[in-house]
């Protein structure tokens, strides 16, 4: 078969100019762009479309959890002018206890610096401003030495719950409560 094709191609090129051009083009080495233009790539199998999960900010999820389990937003949004300090303190004690319970469940928190407040701390050159906030007389170049005012906190574990509600409710911190008769 190859022999027959070669003979036919020879005589076609010999007697027909347009066939000679087509045969010459077919015999030229192909670059990648022309090959891909003529031969379509095999179609990739399409995966079944998975429905997108509603997106909710982790900040809204945390705020909603603090509200649901500790009534945090209610306390912060309440006008406290009408209450005595004792009443505010009593309400805050319960809310703060429940907030700590939420934080302990969702996070593992450790001090950034393992020193007692008031102890001397050395801050090296090239320190991370996300880990150390310097206050007071900020003259000169690091390294610095100062007194620890607060040891800071860092999360070593974070387990935020995944949102499974609707898109319309993604920004709701606390749903409206309606008591039916």
Asked whether residue 42 is domain-assigned, the answer is no
- pLDDT at position 29 over 80: no
By the 8 A CB rule, do 80 and 88 touch? yes
What is the band of 161 on the pLDDT scale with cuts at 50, 70, 90? confident
**Residue 17 within any structural domain of the chain:** yes
Question: Which pair of tokens denotes residue 144?
Answer: 């610095």
153 forms bridges with which residues in the sheet?
111
Residue 13 has pLDDT above 90, yes or no: no
Comparing 14 with 69, which gets the higher pLDDT?
Answer: 69
Across the chain, mean pLDDT equals 86
Residue 6 lies in a domain: yes
Between residues 49 and 10, the one the model is more confident about: 49
Answer whether residue 85 is part of any domain: no
Q: Within a 13 Å sphere around the CA of 67, how many CA atoms are in the beta-carbon half? A: 17
Q: Could you read off the pLDDT of 53-78 as tens digits, one per residue?
A: 668 999 999 999 999 999 999 999 99
Overall domain count for the chain: 1
Residue 14 lies in a domain: yes
Bridge partners, residue 110, by sequence: 154
Task: Judge whether 15 lies within some domain.
Answer: yes
Task: Say how many C-beta atoms besides its own lie within 10 A of residue 67's C-beta.
Answer: 19
Q: Please give the model's pTM, rounded to 2 decimal places.
A: 0.62
For residue 83, is pLDDT > 90?
yes
Write down the pLDDT at residue 31. 63
Does pLDDT of 4 surpass 70?
no
Is the predicted pLDDT of residue 37 greater than 60, yes or no? no
Structural domain includes residue 119: no
Could you tell me the residue range of the domain that residue 8 belongs to? 2-28
CA–CA distance from 111 to each of 43, 107, 108, 132, 156 (Å)? Answer: 54, 13, 10, 12, 10
Residue 20 counted as domain residue: yes
């Amino acid at each position: 078969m190859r022999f027959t094709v070669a003979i036919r191609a020879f005589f076609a090129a010999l007697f027909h100019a347009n066939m000679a051009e087509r045969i010459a083009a077919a015999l030229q080495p192909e670059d990648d762009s022309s090959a891909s233009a003529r031969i379509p790539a095999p179609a990739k199998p399409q995966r079944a479309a998975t429905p997108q999960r509603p997106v909710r900010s982790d900040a809204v999820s945390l705020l909603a959890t603090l509200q649901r389990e500790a009534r945090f937003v209610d306390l912060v949004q309440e006008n406290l002018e009408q209450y005595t300090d004792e009443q505010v303190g009593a309400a805050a004690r319960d809310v703060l206890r429940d907030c700590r319970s939420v934080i302990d469940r969702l996070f593992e928190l450790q001090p950034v610096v393992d020193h007692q407040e008031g102890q001397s701390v050395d801050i090296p050159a090239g320190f991370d401003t996300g880990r150390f906030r310097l206050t007071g007389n900020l003259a000169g170049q690091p390294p610095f030495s100062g007194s620890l005012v607060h040891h800071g906190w860092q999360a070593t574990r974070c387990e935020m719950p995944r949102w499974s509600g609707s898109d319309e409710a993604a920004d709701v911190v606390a749903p409206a409560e309606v008591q039916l008769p």
